[in-house]
Amino acid sequence: MYFKYTLNDLRKNRGVNISLLVVLALSAFLMASGAMVMERTLGSVNALFDQAKPPHFLQMHKGAYDEAALDAFATEHPEIDSWLIEDMVGYDSAAIAWARPGTTESGTLSESLIDNLFVTQNTEFDFLLDADSAIAQPADGETFVPVAYQQRFGLQTGDELRIRTDVGIEEFVIAGFVRDSQMASSLSSATRFLVSDADFERLLTSGGSPEIIVEYRLADPAQANDFQAVYESDQSLPKNGQAVTGDMIRIINAISDGLVAIALMFVSLLLISIALLNVRFVIRGTLQDEVHQIGAMKAIGLPDSTISGLYLSKYSAMTLIACIIGGGLAIVASQALTSGMQTSYATAPVTALTFLAPIAALTTVFFIVIAICRHVLRLINRVEVVSALVHGSTLDERQTARRAKRLARRVRRSAFASYGGGDLGRRISLVDLRTEAGQWVLLPLVFLLAVVLITLPTNLLTTFQSPKFVTYMGAPESDLRIDLQFSDDLEQVREDADAALAADSRLVQVRRFANELVETRGDEGWESMRVEVGDYSGDTIQYLRGGPPAAGEIALSVLNADRFGVDVDDAFTVRRDGSEVTLTVNGVYQDITSGGQTAKMAGGATGVVTGYLYYATTTAGQDPTVIASDYGDRFSAATVVPMGEYVSQTLSYVTIAFFNAAVLAVVFAIGVAALITTLNLTLRLAREKRRSGILSALGFSGSELAAQLRFKAILAVVIGTLLGVAVAATLGEALVGAAISLAGLGISSLAFIPNPLLVYVAYPLLLIVVGTISAVTVASRLRRGDTSAWLRA
């Protein structure tokens, strides 16, 4: 009986059932896709980590260091499983070019703003892997290039790589491309090229910038944070550079594709909400339409559970079909969404979780929908036989009486008593909306959710793309950034740069900050901490709490404040140049650079300076790119970049993820809005045939009836869209900010930097137009209707 009823109903109401099936399938598709992308991303990163064996803790360093101190430290700490010192030599991107033999194709890597580090293959861990996930071993004259450069510049195996050094041009043949477990993400400030031992020695003596990474594998990786504190408390160890733990490496590698998965699941949850609203609407409408049959079934003795099961079987079948369709589409989509990620990292192995993740997601969708269906079908338990058969109502006598009184209060004579002419159809429409608000609430809710769905991913994208986003990177908004890294003649270069920048009429508001190493108390004693020292008066960065530091004060990044357990107005002790100084924490800011662990102090540097940082604003009409190139040529020891390009490249993986999510959300929101509007109005049209017939008999033409339906639908769409804009602009920011803070990147409160014309004007107008077109299309059927058939309905 269940099977026959389900099959007959699916055939009879094809339009309604197909529309519901599409929405449910889209919901299942997105939820399963999100689960599969997340599983594939984590599986790919884990596979790369298993094969490449990255360090559990690393410390980058420029300048001289005491290797004996590192040996002694390793001997004293049995928790170290293995360790190494990786020598590297850096070359500026502008000094690296490529050419394709036998063709005229060539180019440079000058567009890249990150550090290019040439290394040899390690022998114990932290391996660079080729496309087959084997440990790459270049021969003399060969190099393996990062996968990111292969994708960005279209490089191919067999291309020639040329490096301009102090002694001439060094030429290499690209033998392949390497996957780097440490530096694969755009959030990394550097990338590694692999060369042979002999070629490395030649590059090292040809004018490159040498630096090292001290890397450790621990017996217990969970102790990485404690080990970092122990390392930084030893003053004899090298620390002139960024320190990173294995967990942070894993987060940075997974964040971009992880955000895609989270975005897919978020879109899916909104679509499930829309689907559930429609399921509830359709079920209640179906029960009202078939109330006589329900009364007859109760009269012959069928129990409520059997009648509910009859209807539930249909929706269970529809949801199951939707989950099967959505799951099948998700398999194809997830392969496309993760293909680039698996190229950069590794091919994720197929495990039990590969199957369980999408099945769990689809099962969640199925049971959520069925639970709502069961809840709505409880209405059958309250149906009384007499009321159903005689009055055609799902309400009992008391409910019917209360409803009649309520309607009587709403439909007062005053509704038309004040009518003095004008559009009578519009007045009837307003009265209809007021008296049947509960039945019309679906459309505003759907468009509210559609606006949220379409707005939040776009707001995230424009926020991360905005030049103002540098304030989330611990830097003031500016046009130009100049880094003077550690070198033997650092102070002389700094003096020359000061003079050049001060005399340059193309620049205004030049700010200089010193990177200084100080010490602060940690759980294991004194630890090293990098502090940016300079003048923070005026507008520099945005502070989450408090404000910029003055003399005797310090500002800490969110992660550092959490790490040391301090907040605004707390005392904070540092040791500078051997002397202890107690400072007051005056501000807490957000920063995603240097692992999110940074600090700022006012005044001049008095301790160990490891480099200088300049921020400059250009005068009107000046091109920051041209000025950056000029200073890059004049100061070979400096890294000079336009700030906008720096932010763009640093966040490229993240912004690509948000762009994909935004496009997906726009397409789905428009499609679902059109589909649900059409479905809702079609059902209302079918249920209001008798009402339409009465109005037609009273003299209203088909065009006038169509205009009434259009007016009600468009008004509901406009109200829902405006409410959605308000919700997205207020609650949406807090919701997304909370989700971003969970990533542990150093952002705990995200303030949107939206494109107002796009998200608050263009998108709402687009949804209103879609709703209007759907309403006009459905309402046009009233012009061709058979009024006599309406009266017999």
Q: Which of 674, 756, 220 is nearest to 446 (CA)?
A: 674
**185 inside domain:** yes
Q: Residue 257's pLDDT is what? A: 60
Q: Kindly state whether residues 616 and 662 are assigned to the same domain.
A: no
- Mean pLDDT rounded to a whole number for the chain: 81
Classify residue 659: in a domain, yes or no.
yes
| Last residue within a domain, chosen from 175, 204, 219 | 219
pLDDT at position 43: 82
**What is the arithmetic mean of pLDDT over 778-793?**
66
Let me know whether 782 and 759 are in one domain. yes
In a domain, 530, yes or no: yes
Distance CA 438, CA 281 (A): 10
| Model pLDDT for residues 42-60, shown as the tens digit of each residue | 788 788 888 889 899 998 8
The answer to whether residue 603 scores a pLDDT higher than 90 is: no
Task: Grade residue 158 by pLDDT with cuts at 50, 70 and 90.
Answer: very high
CA 529 – CA 515 distance, rounded (Å): 10
564-600, pLDDT tens digit by residue?
Answer: 889 999 999 988 877 888 999 998 988 876 667 789 9
State how far the Cα of 608 lies from the Cα of 522, in Å rounded to an integer: 20
Helices (H), 543-651: 558-564, 624-634, 643-650
Q: How confident is the model at residue 254 (pLDDT cuts 50, 70, 90)?
A: low
- Are residues 662 and 457 in contact, defined by beta-carbon separation less than 8 angstroms? yes
Is there a single domain that holds both residue 530 and residue 668? no
Q: How many residues does the chain have?
A: 793
Q: Report the distance separating Cα 554 and Cα 551, nearest Å.
A: 8
In a domain, 642, yes or no: no
Of the candidates 91, 98, 113, which has an alpha carbon nearest to the alpha carbon of residue 624? 113
pLDDT tens digits for range 621-641: 888 888 988 888 888 778 888
Residue 272 β-bridge partners: none
Give yes or no: residues 267 and 358 share one domain. yes
CA Rg value for the chain: 33
Q: How far is residue 729's CA from residue 724's CA, in Å, rounded to a whole number?
A: 8
Does residue 406 surpass a pLDDT of 80?
no
Asked if residue 242 lies in contact with residue 407, where contact means CB atoms within 8 angstroms, the answer is no
Q: Smallest Cα–Cα separation from 720: which of 776, 779, 772?
A: 772
pLDDT (0 to 100) of residue 764: 94
Work out the average pLDDT over 535-540.
Answer: 80
Burial string for 674-709 (b: 16+ CB within 10 Å, else e) reads bbbbbbbbbbbbeebbeebbebbeeebebebbbbbb
**Is 230 within the bounds of a domain?**
no
Look at residues 107, 79, 77 and name the one whose alpha carbon lies nearest to residue 93: 107
pLDDT at residue 198 greater than cutoff 70: yes
pLDDT-derived band at 181 (thresholds 50, 70, 90) equals confident
Q: What is the pLDDT of residue 89?
A: 92
C-alpha closest to that of 520 among 509, 528, 510, 512: 528
What is the rounded CA–CA span in Å between residue 539 and residue 653?
Answer: 29
What is the model's pLDDT at position 420? Answer: 54
CA neighbor of 338 nearest in space, from 40, 50, 130: 40
Sort residue 538 into left (φ over 0), alpha (ψ -120 to 50) or beta.
left
Domain extent, residue 506, equals 486-636
What is the average per-residue pLDDT within 521-540?
Answer: 79
Please say if the pLDDT value at position 652 is more than 70.
yes
Q: Are 455 and 763 in contact (CB under 8 A)?
A: yes
Q: Are residues 16 and 66 in the same domain?
A: no
> Does 413 map to a domain?
no
Inform me whether the pLDDT recorded for 788 exceeds 60: no
Is pLDDT of 454 > 80?
yes
- Assess whether 43 and 147 both reside in one domain: no
Does 209 or 770 have the greater pLDDT score? 770
Q: Is 557 in a helix, a strand, or coil? A: strand
Counting the structural domains of the chain, the total is: 4
Shared domain check, 95 and 37: no
H/E/C letters for each residue in 312-343?
Answer: HHHHHHHHHHHHHHHHHHHHHHHHHHHHHHHH
Contacts of 552 (CB under 8 A, 6+ apart): 583, 584
Give the whole-number percent of the chain exceeding pLDDT 90: 19
Asked if residue 24 and residue 63 are part of one domain, the reply reads: no
Assess if residue 456 is contained within a domain. Answer: yes
Distance CA 379, CA 300 (A): 19
Looking at the structure, tell me whether residues 522 and 458 fall in a common domain. Answer: no
- Same domain as 514, residue 445: no
With residues binned 3-state (H G I as helix, E B as strand, rest as coil), the percentages for the chain, rounded to 5, are: 55, 20, 25
Closest CA to 181 of 345, 57, 347, 349: 345
Quick check: is 598 in a domain? yes
Residue 510: phi and psi, rounded to 5, are -85, 125
CB 625 within 8 Å of CB 507: no
Picking from 636, 667, 682, the residue at the C-terminal end of a domain is 636
Classified as helix, coil or strand, 489 is: coil
Q: Looking at the DSSP assignment, which residues form a beta bridge with residue 587?
A: 546, 555
Q: Are residues 212 and 78 in the same domain?
A: yes
CB atoms within 10 A of CB 149: 22
Between 14-52 and 304-344, two packed helices, what is the crossing angle to 10 degrees?
Answer: 40
Residue 114: per-residue pLDDT? 78
Q: Last residue of a domain, which of 601, 636, 671?
A: 636
The letter for the amino acid at 234 is D
pLDDT tens readout for residues 295-327: 888 888 888 888 888 888 888 888 899 999 989
CA distance 159 to 424: 77
For 103-133, give the DSSP string.
SS-EEESTT--SEEEEE---SSS---B-TTS
Q: Are 71 and 102 in a shared domain?
A: yes
Read off the pLDDT band of 161 (50, 70, 90): very high
Q: Please give the share of the chain, as a percent, with pLDDT higher than 70.
A: 83
**Distance between CA atoms of residues 312 and 298, nearest Å:** 17
Q: Model confidence at 425, in pLDDT bands (50, 70, 90)?
A: low
What is the C-alpha separation between 443 and 452, in angstroms, rounded?
A: 14
In this predicted structure, the answer to whether residue 421 has a pLDDT above a threshold of 60 is no
The alpha helices in 205-349, defined as continuous H runs, are 224-233, 246-289, 291-299, 304-344
359-388 mean pLDDT = 84
